[in-house]
Structure 1
Amino acid sequence: MNRPDRDLLAATGPLLLAPDAVLLPEGPADGWAVVVEGGSFQDVGPADELERRHQQLRAVRLAGHLLMPGFVDAHHHLTQSFGSALAFGEPSEIFRRVWVPLEGALDEESAYTAAKLAALEALRGGFTTVADAGTRADVDVEVIASAARDAGIRCVLGLVCNDADGTDDRADATPGAAVLDHAEKHLARYTGDPLVHPSLAVSIPEAATERTLHATARLGAEAGAVVQIHVNEHLAGVERSLVRHGLRPLEHLHNVGALGPQLLAAHATLLTPHELTLLADTGTAVSYNPVASAWKGNAVAPATAMAERGIRFGLGTDGTRGDGFRLAEAAEFAQRLAYGLAAGDSSCGAGWTWLEHATRRGADAVGLGARTGTIARGMAADFLLVDTDTPELALSRDLPWELVRRGNRDQITAVFVAGRLRMWRGRPTDWDGPALVRRAAELARAAVGRADITRVHPTSTAARALHRARMGSTAQ
């Protein structure tokens, strides 16, 4: 069988791509094709119709392949990639002990390299868009934007707008005028940028004064940009909010006028029925981060309930691992364990739910629903070519379910962002990925060495030695 030709796919100018199937919101469409030109899908439909309409183009046959939307990572921390191996076995709220000191130890080169490394992993895993929740590194945020552009990934780029230390959050507190001025400039800075889309961010509700929470919500709504805030993620944060305000974090945001379509609430794992109603009534979006729940969380967000109530949400990695297929599987798997088993729900979204929220609805959650996430005329050509002639997928009778349960990044032949071939069989097409990884390893060792990081859990090797020592003393 003829396999895809990299040179043909990397060519400039319009492309007529004819795979075995195209993944639409309604499901796989066999025998469909797309025309890609100028970074967008110029035409989508049955292959024979497109070939008649575009006789000047020679169809690129993609036998054994599915063309599907690229994954959208609705919650990432690009400059935390140097510490990804420090999170294992750690209890909740590790941001105070690991992420804040680590990002504080980054200089301009290490922040750029960390962000580009995270983008590389994301692209390898089929993500064409990532939403970065803002860096605490003392660098111009343009450093992160440059890393995303150079890697070739679409980025919703957060600017941290914290102006409180968590001890003074009174309604009459003076907002940081400089913070809000910086926020306005950030929103204007990336107007017209083809890959970077500005966003505002507050680390957690207690990190900003009430006036700033309200003001950033207004600025985001006026600019059509999302405001990213970690909300109701950990028990400790919920309890601090109850002590300080008599309200849970999400309720507090509602009280200050910060909920709405512009808000992207990260995690939202600990929700009451009333808070689900607040989300549904206000149009607030959520990033459901199932791997983060498994690795360091206190709960799993009730995503199936959110889907049933029409609450907007996307899937996010929280920087855990950049594999879109494994993220979709984790989304379904977590719902099955946390909710489905107890209720006798063996479907838990029927597969398609998680593909939908990993692509089209994820794009909506991060504010880009009119630009990406769907294979449709006029949308950005952010897509994957997935090899379906594999042992995992070749015998499929229900491709959406199979992609969720058995898909993995090894099956991704090509990744396109804005109509350009960015990744071919796991490697960047126009820059040196292995060289970046080598440099990142050097810089990461230095940054971790400088940072005042506190880990609760030892490394797995040290933990094994402690276990053996305890077992030995017990035997004696």
Structure 2
Amino acid sequence: MTEAVDLLINARWVVPVDDAESVLEHHAVAVCDGRIHAVLPQHEARTSISARRTVELRDHVLIPGLVNAHTHAAMALLRGIADDLPLMRWLQEAIWPAESRHVSDAFVRDGTLLAAAEMLRGGVTTCNEMYFFPDAAAQAFERMGMRAVLGVTVIDFPTPYAADADDYLRKGLEARDRWRGHPLFEFSIAPHAPYTVSDASLERVASLAAELDCTIHMHVHETAHEVEESLARHGVRPLARLASLGLLGPGFLGVHVVHVDDHDIALLAHHGCSIAHCPTSNMKLASGIAPIAAMHEAGLRIGLGTDGSASNNRLDLFEEMRQAALLAKVAGGDASVLPARSALRMATRDAAEAIGLGGRIGTIEPGKLADLCAVDLGGADMQPCYDPVSHLVYVAGRQQVSHVWVGGEARVEGGVLQLHLDNSELIATASLWQTRIES
């Protein structure tokens, strides 16, 4: 007797990102009601599974959907407006002025649509978002059928979205209430950075995060200047300040975390914190190279993020996997540091756990949501292939992504978005905003 399922995917390789670092050849993944029902050899599936639809991926590797541990999706509309500047000049001279003139519900909705399309085509099924107007972002992600953790952004200074920290929290929590229970969304509290949020506001963030049982998502120790400023203003390094205010814990996700010493790393490990590593953004802004090898050795959980398109300028986790692996090797003078399997895990399982969704996504195993990505390794430029995981990190790119599923629903097939949204609409929208921003 056969079991009925909605979808059966037969792949040349299945990489579940499990503890054994398995690479399963000629295996199938059965999907039912949006979840992974079984992972089994194809010859067994032929006799035990009856599927409403079967997808044959003869030259492909099937992996968990990639998880972008940190981004600002709507900033896709600011891609390239402020290149080749260090962080504080980039923020103060270009980004914050542009945002003060243009950020709105419409800006966030349109920018997030553009970003979600880019991420889905590149195999990203979930992102951890930090920006203004979370209602508008949720509307865009819902239209695209993409999973997201939406940040309740907190800053002490006014923007077109809110007047002060209390206003940010009030509006963000109202958005959280409106979208509560939606199958695609969770919320975090996202104070921007130690240098833009006061002690009083941070204490309120810590209290709310504990009360609501949600993650805290925050830039920290991104530049040497940030650390120096904290020592001058507060007498302690930023992470020590956050610890004294009650923010550090298993639900804390520190973004960038570049300029840290052994004590900082030990403090993060002691509190069970997670890291969102954004190697390309760190390089482009000349912020530095995060000591990933030391963090791994300390037992920290590290996910990969892209940051926003204004500082990357791509939302491409294949690029981040490659950059993370190569940077770690050259920084440590050790070619064995951060092997391909570790880089893939940082873009899937570790990132999912870091943003609080490890129980639902990030691996291919029965019971998890069927967020999946297929990568075509059949092209001549992919040959020969001795190790598909090595190819994912060092050879393939997002252009090899052929299929993407979110909760078992096709979002990309044959490299084409399966949504009522085409390139012409996205290009027209981006062009309209470019004209406004340049005027």
**TM-score of the aligned structures, taking structure 1 as reference length:** 0.84
Count of aligned residue pairs for this structure pair: 422
Other-structure match for 2:161: none
What one-letter code is carried by the residue in structure 2 that aligns with 1:122? Answer: M
Within the candidate set 6, 27, 41, 1:14 is matched to 6
Distance 2:262 2:423 in 1: 48
1:378 match: secondary structure: coil
Residue 85 of structure 1 aligns to a residue whose secondary structure is coil
In the alignment, which residue of structure 2 is the partner of 1:86? Answer: 81
Q: Counterpart in 1 of 2:217?
A: 228
How far 1:53 sits from its partner (Å)?
Answer: 3.2
SS in 2 for 1:79: helix
Compute the RMSD of aligned alpha carbons.
2.1
Shift of 1:57: 5.4
Question: 3-state SS of the aligned residue for 2:386?
Answer: coil
Structure 1, gaps ≥5 residues long? 1-12, 166-174, 451-476
1:97 to partner: Cα distance:
2.4
Higher Rg: 1
Q: For 1:35, which of 30, 35, 39 is the aligned residue?
A: 30
1:24 aligns to 2:16 (yes or no)? yes
**2-structure distance, mates of 1:199, 1:312:** 18
Q: CA–CA distance in 1 between the matches of 2:291 and 2:37?
A: 38
Q: CA, structure 1 residues 221+189, in 2 after alignment: closer, same or farther (shift >3 Å)?
A: farther
CA distance in 1, matches of 2:171, 2:104: 21
Matches within 5 A, 1:308-457: 308-319=297-308, 320=312, 321-339=314-332, 341=333, 345-449=334-438
Partners of 1:77 and 1:360 in 2: CA distance: 21
Change (3 A) 1:388 1:207: same
Residue 359 of structure 1: how far off its partner (Å): 0.5
Matches within 5 A, 1:87-236: 87-93=82-88, 94-104=90-100, 105-135=102-132, 140-163=133-156, 177-236=166-225
CA drift at 1:184: 4.1
Return the offset for 1:199. Answer: 1.4
Q: CA deviation at 1:317?
A: 0.5
* Residues 325 and 404, structure 1, Cα contact 8 Å, conserved in 2: yes
1:440, distance to aligned residue in structure 2 (A): 2.8
- Separation (CA, whole Å) in 1 of partners of 2:48 and 2:181: 31
**TM-score (ref. length: structure 2):** 0.90
Q: Secondary structure of 1:422's match?
A: strand
Question: How far is 1:181 from its partner?
Answer: 4.1
Deviation at 1:23, TM superposition (A): 0.6
Give the direction of change, closer, same or farther, for the CA distance of 1:237–1:45 in structure 2 (3 Å limit): same
2:126–2:146 contact (8 Å) kept in structure 1 = yes
The 2-side partners of 1:294 and 1:141 are apart by 28
Structure 1 pair 294–179 and aligned structure 2 pair: CA distance change class (3 A): closer
Q: Is the 8 A contact 1:106 1:447 kept in 2?
A: no
- Quickly say closer, same or farther: Cα 1:42–1:243, change in 2 above 3 A: same
> In the alignment, is the contact (CA less than 8 A) between 1:224 and 1:367 conserved in 2?
no
Question: What is the one-letter code of the residue matched to 1:132?
Answer: E
Deviations 1:319-378 (A, max 9, x none): 221222111001111112222x2xxx1122121110001101011111111111111111
Question: Is 2:203–2:245's contact at 8 Å kept on the other side of the alignment?
Answer: yes
Does the CA contact (< 8 Å) of 2:112 and 2:137 recur in 1?
yes
Could you tell me which runs of 5 or more consecutive residues in structure 2 were left unpaired when the two chains were aligned: 159-163
CA distance in 1, matches of 2:188, 2:51: 41
Q: CA deviation at 1:202?
A: 1.0
Instruction: State the one-letter code of the partner of 1:346.
Output: A
Cα distance in 2 between the residues matched to 1:122 and 1:141: 18
The residue type paired with residue 284 of structure 1 is: C
Q: Give the C-alpha shift of residue 15 in structure 1.
A: 0.6
Q: Distance in 2 between matches of 1:225 and 1:72?
A: 18
Structure 1 residue matching 2:84: 3-state secondary structure: coil
Q: CA deviation at 1:183?
A: 4.8
Match of 1:168 in 2: none
Given residue 430 of structure 2, which amino acid in structure 1 is its aligned partner?
A
User: How far apart in 2 are the matches of 1:222 and 1:370?
Assistant: 21
- Percent identical residues: 32
Q: How many angstroms apart in 2 are the aligned matches of 1:238 and 1:260?
A: 20
Which residue is 1:458 aligned to? none
Instruction: Indicate yes or no: 2:236 matched with 1:247.
Output: yes
AA of the residue aligned to 2:350: R
CA distance in 2 between partners of 1:432 and 1:228 (Å): 31
Give the conservation status (yes or no) of the 8 Å contact 2:62–2:373: yes
Alpha-carbon shift at residue 180 of structure 1 (Å): 4.3
Measured after TM superposition, the shift of residue 273 of structure 1 is 0.4
Report the Cα distance in structure 2 between the residues aligned to 1:179 and 1:363, rounded to whole angstroms: 26
Report the CA distance between 1:233 and its aligned residue. Answer: 0.4
Deviation at 1:176, TM superposition (A): 5.2
